[in-house]
Structures are given as structure tokens and as C-alpha cells.
Structure 1
Amino acid sequence: MNQKRILVVDDEENLRHMMKIILSREGYQVYEAADGENALSMIRSTPMDLILCDVRMPRMDGMTLLETIAPKNYRPIVIMMSAYGTIETAVTAMKMGAYDYVSKPFQSDEVLLTIKKAFEHQSLKDENEQLRKQLTETRSGVDLMIGDSPPMRRLRALIERVSQYDSTVLITGESGTGKELAAREIHLRSPRRDNSFVPINCAALPESLLESELFGFKKGAFTDARADKKGLLEEANGGTLFLDEIGDLPISIQVKLLRFLQDGKIRRLGETTEREVNVRIITATNQDLKKAVDEKRFRNDLFFRLNVIQIHLPPLRERREDIPSLVDHFARRFSKKYEKPAIRIEPEVYDLFMSYPWKGNIRELENVVERVILLSEGETLSAANLPEDLFPAENRWGEFMKDAATLREAKRKLEREMIQQALLRTGGDKRKASESLGITLRALQYKIKEYQIGKMTGEGGENG
């Protein structure tokens, strides 16, 4: 068991000696300091779990020591003690970050109980923080945030910055890039994280239903309004409302949303009174809203209100170097979900995944990995485990050939593609692949090395 470190800070040597004996008997590792400066020096060299500190001391007193260590990222539990204490002193100390305050003279049992409660309190805080982190990871855009490509580093930095402010955010990107995940990530990093995150897809509901869903209604406002109902704006009060597919929002509702963004008030259907609502609005679209404005399908004034900060999510094809990390992440997740053993992924699988166009982006990649893990047998995932229909050559032709500037480059791309397809069909068997390609095994091995195609299954002989 890890011993807790306690630092006793007091200018009375006898008290320090007595406390060392008492605390050591309880299994604590005890350190001593005669004043605040001595204690501060000791804390810098040896992390402490708890400090038992006198208020009045020479050179640096206890309150100054408490004030000095309070802003630090690492902060031990502090219990103040004094023979000259008042209620005001105790309150001040606790406002500055002390856990508790004990008055001298005290019984040893009193101090031991206070210390025990302090450690129990800290343990509970640590446990709650860990649970919060786990919950945040479960609910946040962890899938989106994986990867260390330049676009992802820029995206993470931007999300971190904008999350601290209440300005509207417009998230753009192709379908499947993780726009809702990005919105959740912004919410969960913001001061609003303890309140609701409420998503709604503007394209999924008809105009009449969408209006009542957003703004709510009064009993009797229409035929089926049998009771008062809060709208999603009210449900998200104090938190964040995420409007996905904002480009499909009907013009009539665009007017009402604009009015809310201007004055922060809503009116339920059938009511005459307005209600104040404190909500951050995040929107997303895969459309060109500027074009929609030009075509009079989207209000220009609303576009400028929503587009205070724009975050663009790159498609997966523009961050291919992140694909192996995403594949590993999804493989771990689905292996756990379906109670499969941890799976080892062969290099040629990464090659095939990285060469695929992924028009459905992260969502498509996630679905493919889930399917492969679910159907896999054994603890190794190789090209032989991948259904051919996942990577039809006709879907990839235009994608991989479009960047070929010369005939020579096009030839190299075609050769590499044909070799990968042959290895896929044969499950990594190089002899069979070479035969299907009409070249020698030695020529195939040379081409694999030349084109830096991942190391295939088999280490020796005809398959090595």
C-alpha cells in the first residue's frame, strides 16, 4: 500500500515531534518544517499528500504558504491549525483552499479524524473526476479527435479555443466527418458542460413539427396540443443546442431563429408572452451556405449570425495518415463490444484501408471495421479476412488515378493497385499473387519493396 506523505509545519519543535510520533503510528510518512519557507522548499522537492500547517510562524506564516501553493496545478490537502484562531480566520483559510481548520490545543484523535476525513474526501473527488473523464470520453468526439495529422492538430487547437466562449459556431464538412462529435466536444470542453447538449436534425422533421419542437407550444395551440410542452431551446437552457443540417431549415423558422439569436427570447406556439433562454447555438451543414444565400434559400443575416466562428472538418482522404490509428481504435472498441479477443492487424490491411477513398468518411470506416471484427475468427486480421466487395476496384479507379500527372506515374499507380488487389484476393500469398499477375515471385517481391507495400503474411519460402 502506498504510504501517504504528511508535512507538519510549525515553529514549535515539541509539537512537530509529537505529531510525527502520532502520525507515524497510523502508517503515514511524516516530514517536518519549522516555517513556511522551509515547507515550500520541501514541497518543491518532495510531493506531499497533506500539509498540517500552523497559522503563525516566523519568516513565512501559514496563510502566506497557503496562498502561495493554492494556484498550483499540484496542490496537497491543507489543514490549518492555530492557538489564536477565530471564525473569521477559519473561513478565510477555507476560502483560500484549506480543507479544514483545527484549534490548538487539540486531542490527537481529533486531528487523526480530520486527516482521515480529508483523505476520504479527496479519494471521492478523484473517483468522481475519473468517472467524469470516462463519461466525457464516452459522450465526446473521441473518434473524431484521434489522429496526429496536421489537419487534426489544427482542429484540436481550434476546438479548444472556441469552446471557452459562447459565440455561435458553424461546423462544415462532408457527411460522416463527425460534425455532431465536434459539436459535443466543444460543449464538453466549455463552461456549459454540466448542462444539456441537445441535438436536432433540421432535415428530419417537416416544417410544422420542427417549429413546435424548437420553440414548444401551449396547450390548445393546435389539435394535438393536449398539454404545455417545452421546446428544445428551453430543454437546452444553460447548455448547448446543436442544429444539424441547418441548410435545410425552412425560411419561416429561420426568421424565428434569427430573432432568438438577437434578443435571447422565445415564444411558444399559442402564447403571447416571451421567455428568456440562455443557450449556445452550434450549427452544422454539408452544404455551401453562401450559395444557398445567393439562391435566396437561406437568409443572409442569419448566415452571418451563425458564422461567427467556422470550423471545417477535413474528409478522411485528406488525413490518410490518421487511418491506422482510427482502425486500431475501432478494432479495440468492437472487440470489447462483441467480446472478441484483442486482434492483431496485419500491415497489408492498413495499406488497403489507406488506399480506399472513404467517401463516407469516418462513419464508413467505423462501419467497415465493425463488420470485419464481427465476422472475424481468430486473433489476426489479414487481407484474407476482408470481403472483396469492401474494396471494389471500380470505386477506386478515378480516386487513385486522378493525381497521376504523367504516363509513367499512372503506370506506377496502376501496378501498385493491381498488386494490392492480387494480394487481397490471395490472402497475402505472394506466389499465388505473382501467378495471377503473370510475373515471377522475385519480380513481385521487388515491386512490393519498390512501392513500399506493407509486409504481407508469411515470412519464409514462397510466401515470404
Structure 2
Amino acid sequence: MSGSLLVVDDEEIVRNSVRQWLELGGFTVRVAAGADEAMRLVKETPPDAVLTDFRMPQRSGLELMRDIRRADPDIPVVLLTAHGDVPLAVAAMREGAYDFLQKPHDPELLSAVMTRAIERRQLKLQLRQLSDRLAAPGEIDARLIGLSKPMVAVRASVLELAGHDRDVIVTGETGTGKEVVARALHDFGPRAKAPFVAVNCAAIPAELFESELFGHEAGAFTGARGARIGKFEHASGGTLLLDEIESMPLPFQAKILRALQERAIERVGSNKLLPVDVRVIAAAKGDLAADSRQGRFRSDLYFRLAAAEVHLPALRERGNDVLLLFEHFAAAAAQGAGRTMSPLRADDLDALLAHDWPGNVRELKNVAERYALGLVATGRSVAEILRRGEPGAPQRSLADRVAAYERALIEAALREHDWSIAAVTEELGVPRRTLNEKMAKYALARPGRKEP
């Protein structure tokens, strides 16, 4: 991890030893002997993070932290403290300090903490850019948030397909945002001013499918007192989303196929064909191609829909997008509740990156909103909120947390560079042998290949 650090300590021996160690780790380091000199350097060229001694003559590290936060609240400050200063350091973290380390510090832990601090700073800068994009509601970045390579590809696909009128399949795990993509395909295309109608196929009883989608005439069946238009007619001119289409009963799939081929439907109880001008987007949690091969989904309907396909990556495949999305959702929730959001601590970042997110973006949004409210009943730290969502889950040791963070960092870099070992060794600044050993340790291998 490269980045610029400012080290502040009144003892020259400590300053130089810390600087030498961090420079060996690839950081660019400047040093200052006191708070006044440090503030001058911060104003000249803001660093990515600051490491400062807690007790210094004239002005303390806590006073320096307050000055830095006034100048630029997004610069993370890490405090070096003696054993007796730990309660004061904890209080300083409530004021916004990023983290603290006790003297004598562990060099490896120091590098890990400063790496996370720099990532925090870079995340904040990315959030500023994101906020500018979100201020323009016409930008797709405001809909499909993320800077990872998979999400850049998704946005490009959506913008390309939005201008076409072909039907589309959107696939992805639960909570990845399939309806958000469907809505973007509608809103960024020529049908934007027409209706967007979403239907959850899993929520419709089998006997009501035809009536719900095609409508019915008065007296078509018991209880049908008047004529009713279906979802196809309601969406005419616009877009119809068939969510969880894999749940659609096989007998009705043939009727959907005919409607798509003829662009016309028959209401229940009528023999009259009604033309419908509608673009259909089908969303599926699983692999529709595999389902069609195995007879669980009509292959002819699959091929009719599969003129184009957008696959949404799971959140665990999106690297630091987890942090970006969390900050976005938490900030929005805090603003909506009229609260000030507590800054994320190092253990919060660890917890976010180490979690598998089986519920994907939907789960992340829920955790972010609970964190923003800061209620004791739901947990005030990310790790606590996640533990309460997993009854009986034990608290992890420092070694487990560092290992989980390291694994997440390496996996994110591998995915970002399409599993190019050479590119990842250059980005992370580690020898190829070390990277291979860590990939073996954490069972990291390109999907479809054996572990290294």
C-alpha cells in the first residue's frame, strides 16, 4: 500500500525509526517534531494519514488532532500512547481519532493500522467524488454505485443496452440490486417516460398468474365482477420487470413465450388479441441457462429472453465497494434521522471487509442504517451489529481479524486485476513467492482452478 504519512514525535530517535520502518513498507513519510510544525506541513500538502505521539511538550497529540480535523476532517489521525494514556486515547477516538497504538508499538501492527488509515482517507476522497455524481440525478453512477471493475462493467452494459429495445435477463444473488438495474435500463432508455411495472413471480399463486399478467373480462371466473387489465397492458409503452422469473409455473411459461413472440395478449375469458408494446426484463437469482438445460425452465423462453444478459456480482466480489456503499448508506440514514454519524474505526473496517455478506447490498444497507442510528439495542459498532445478526458467533481474536482483513485485501486485488499475479504483486508491494504462499494459506484461486 503506497500513500503519504506524517509522523509527529518530539523524540528524534522515535521519529527516525518509525520513518525508516514505514518507508521500507512503501510509504512516503514526512516527519515533524511538534504540533505547530505538523500543522504547517498539513496545510502545505495534506497527507493521507497522520501518526502522532499523544504526549508532547507545548501542545499534545490530542490538540493536534483537533486542529487537523478542523483543517480537513477526512485525514485520519492515529495516536501513539503510553500504557497510562489508554483511557484518554479511547476518549480521543470518540472525538474522531482513527485509532491508537500503545508504546512500545508492534511494527507489523503499525504498518497494518496505517495501511487501513490510508484506505480510509482514499475512501473519503472517493465519497466526495461520488457525492458530486449523486448531485446529478441523471448520472448512472448515482444508481449503480461502485468503483470496482465488475461494477464499472455493469454500468457500461446498462448504458449500452438501455438504448436498445431488446428484452434482457438480469441475474445475480439475492440482494445484489437486480431491480435497481432493471429500473436503470428503463430510465436511461427511450421508454423512460412510460410506465415501469415490476411483478414478483414468486409472490403470485399459480392459479392467478394468467389473470394477474394478462387481465380478465367480467364474468371470466367466479368473483370477476368487472374487466381488469393485467400487468402487460398496464406496462404498455414502457417496461415490465418479471422478477424471480425462475418461480413462474412451467405451463404459464408457454403463454408468456407466445406473448413475447406476438407482442399481444388475450385476457382471461376473451378470444381477442390485444397488442402490447412492452419491453420485458427478466430477473433471476440462479442460472437460467442451467435451469433450461435441466428442464426446470423452458429453453425456448430462455433463448427468447436472452437476447442480452447483465450479471450482477456478489458484494463479496466487489472489494472496497463494501466500504464505499456502507459510508453512502450510513450517511444518508444519519442525515434522514437528523444525526451525526460516528466515524468508522479500524475494527469497523475489518468487520466490513471480512464479512461474507450473504444478503449482499440489501444486507449491507440494513447494517449501515443500524450503525447510523447508533442505538444500544442494535449495537453501536459494525462488528457488534454483525455479531447480533449471527447468534452465538464468538468474538474473533486480533490475529483472526488481521488474517481476515489480509485475505479480503488480497482477494479484492486479485479480482480487480483479473487474477494477474504480476499486477497484484506490484500493487501490494509483495514478492511473488509471498503472494503465492498467502494465496495458498487463504485458499484463494481463480474460479474454476485448483488452489495455488
What aligned pairs does 1:408-423 form with structure 2 within 5 A after superposition? 414=400, 416-417=402-403
- Aligned 1:292-441 pairs, distance under 5 A: 292-376=291-375, 386=385, 388-390=387-389, 414=400, 416-417=402-403
Q: What displacement does 1:228 show?
A: 0.7
Paired residue secondary structure (1:329): helix
The answer (yes or no) to whether the contact 2:214–2:268 under 8 Å persists in 1 is: yes
Residue identity matched to 1:345: L
Asked if the contact 1:141–1:184 (Cα under 8 Å) also holds between the matched residues in 2, the reply is no
The residue type equivalent to 1:208 in the other structure is: E
CA contact (8 A) 2:371 2:381 kept: no
Unaligned runs of 5+ in 1: 1-131, 398-410, 421-450, 452-464
**2:155 is aligned with 1:156:** yes
Runs of 5+ consecutive residues of structure 2 not aligned to the other structure:
1-134, 407-437, 439-452
CA shift digits 1:348-398 (9 cap, x unpaired): 312211111101100000111112222348xxx75686463247796999x
Counterpart contact for 1:331–1:343, Cα < 8 Å: no
Contact 2:238/2:277 (<8 A) preserved: yes
- Does residue 146 of structure 1 match 2:132? no
Question: For residue 194 of structure 1, what is the aligned residue in structure 2?
Answer: 193
Q: Number of residue pairs matched?
A: 273
| Counterpart residue type for residue 211 of structure 1 | E
Q: Say if 1:354 and 1:415 are closer, same or farther in 2 by CA, change over 3 A.
A: closer
> Aligned-pair distance for 1:323?
1.0
CA distance in 1, matches of 2:174, 2:351: 22
Contact 1:372 1:385 in 2 (8 A): no
**1:176 match: secondary structure:** coil
The C-alpha deviation readout for 1:142-165, integer Å capped at 9, x for no partner, is 46x111111011111010000000
The aligned counterpart of 1:203 is 202
Q: Deviations over 1:210-261 (max 9, x none)?
A: 2111000000000111111100000001100000111111122111111111
- Write the distance in 2 (CA, Å) between the matches of 1:147 and 1:186: 17
Aligned CA distance change for structure 1 residues 419 and 232 (closer, same or farther; 3 Å): closer
Assess if the C-alpha contact under 8 Å between 1:141 and 1:182 holds in 2: no
Whole-angstrom CA distance in 2 between matches of 1:217 and 1:371: 44
Do the aligned residues in 1 keep the contact of 2:387 with 2:393 (CA within 8 Å)?
no
Structure-2 change in CA distance of 1:279 and 1:418 (3 Å): closer
Give per-residue Cα distances to partners, 1:55-104, cap 9 Å, x unaligned. xxxxxxxxxxxxxxxxxxxxxxxxxxxxxxxxxxxxxxxxxxxxxxxxxx
AA partner of residue 290 (structure 1): A
- Alpha-carbon RMSD across the aligned residues, in angstroms, is 3.3
Q: Which residues in structure 2 correspond to 1:28-427 (within 5 Å)?
A: 134=137, 142=142, 145-376=144-375, 386=385, 388-390=387-389, 414=400, 416-417=402-403
Distance 1:302 1:263 in 2: 13
| Residue identity matched to 2:155 | R
Match for 1:182: what amino acid? Answer: V
Structure 1 SS opposite 2:373: helix
Deviations along 1:122-177, one digit per CA (max 9) or x if unpaired, are xxxxxxxxxx965x68xx8946x111111011111010000000111001111110
Q: Runs (4+) of structure 1 moved beyond 3 Å? A: 140-143, 381-388, 390-397, 411-415, 417-420
Q: How far has the Cα of 1:345 moved from its partner?
A: 2.4
**Any conservation in 2 of the 1:164–1:189 contact (CA below 8 Å)?**
yes
Q: Compared with structure 1, are the counterparts of its residues 141 and 419 closer, same or farther at alpha carbon in structure 2 (3 Å cutoff)? A: closer
Given that residues 174 and 285 in structure 2 are in contact (C-alpha distance below 8 angstroms), is that contact kept between their aligned partners in structure 1? yes
Structure possessing the higher radius of gyration over alpha carbons: 1
Whole-angstrom CA distance in 1 between matches of 2:392 and 2:322: 19
Alpha-carbon contact 2:367-2:385 (below 8 Å) kept: no
Secondary structure, aligned partner of 2:203? coil
Q: Aligned partner of 2:340: which letter?
A: P
Rounded to whole Å, the distance in 1 between the matches of 2:231 and 2:183 is: 16
C-alpha distance in 1, partners of 2:405/2:295? 51
2:242 alignment partner, SS class = strand
Q: Quick check: 2:169–2:281 contact (8 Å CA) kept in 1?
A: yes
Decide whether the 8 Å contact of 1:356 with 1:396 is kept in 2: no
Partner in structure 2 of residue 436 of structure 1 = none
SS, match of residue 344 in structure 1? coil
TM-score by length of 1: 0.54
Identify if the C-alpha distance between structure 1 residues 346 and 312 changes in structure 2 by more than 3 Å, giving closer, same or farther: same
Change (3 A) 1:396 1:354: farther
SS in 2 for 1:222: coil
CA deviation map 1:297-356 (0-9, x unaligned): 211111100111111100000002101110111012111222212443234312211111
The answer to whether the 8 Å contact 1:219/1:225 transfers is: yes
Please give the alpha-carbon distance, in whole angstroms, between the structure 2 residues aligned to 1:146 and 1:170. Answer: 20
Distance 1:274 1:392, change over 3 A: same
* Rounded Cα–Cα distance in structure 2 between residues aligned with 1:313 and 1:253: 27
Structure 1: how far apart are the matches of 2:327 and 2:216? 47
CA distance in 2, matches of 1:302, 1:198: 20
- What TM-score results when the alignment is normalised by the length of structure 2? 0.55
SS of alignment partner, residue 345 of structure 1: coil
Larger RCO of the pair (alpha carbons < 8 Å, separation 6+): 2
SS in 2 for 1:226: coil
Identity %: 39
Offset of 1:190 from its aligned partner?
0.6
Query: Structure 1 residues 165 and 253, CA, compared in 2 at 3 Å: closer, same or farther?
Result: same
Residue-by-residue CA offset, 1:254-293 (whole Å, 9 max, x unaligned): 1111111111111100011111110000001112222322
Distance 1:214 1:384 in 2: 44
Call closer, same or farther: CA 1:201–1:396 in 2, change over 3 Å. Answer: farther
Aligned equivalents of 2:200 and 2:147: distance in 1?
30
- 2:228 is paired with a residue whose SS is coil
